[in-house]
Amino acid sequence: MAGQDKQRQDTEETAPADFAATVERLEALVEQLESGELSLEASLTAFEQGVRLTRDAQRRLDEAELKVRTLTEGEDGGIDLKPFASSEEADGEH
């Protein structure tokens, strides 16, 4: 039981700080899964971690897209950033 808790805790660590590191981690998980060398339990754990990382990456992409879309040219020709709702706030509106 303690081994499962430790394994679960290791896989539930926060996502890497930057998008590129998240993608690299996803690629490593795919390689592990495709190798066929993981046990069923380890494969499921890797898959679960991959799903979490994929969701995090998609959230980051969505937020970046929203920021880019909110960039507008101001009257003085400069670029202004308009505030927008976070993805959590946007989810609550649906």
Residue of 6 and 68 predicted with greater confidence = 68
Q: Tokens at residue 2, please?
A: 């303690």
The domain segmentation of the chain, as residue ranges, is 39-73
Cα dist from 58 to 25, 53, 63, whole Å: 14, 9, 9
Amino acid at 88: E
Is this prediction's pTM over 0.85? Answer: no
Q: Tokens at residue 30, please?
A: 């795919």
DSSP 15-64: PPSSHHHHHHHHHHHHHHHHHT-S-HHHHHHHHHHHHHHHHHHHHHHHHH
Instruction: Please write the tens of the pLDDT for every residue from 10-60.
Output: 444 566 788 999 999 999 999 999 999 999 999 999 999 999 999 999 999
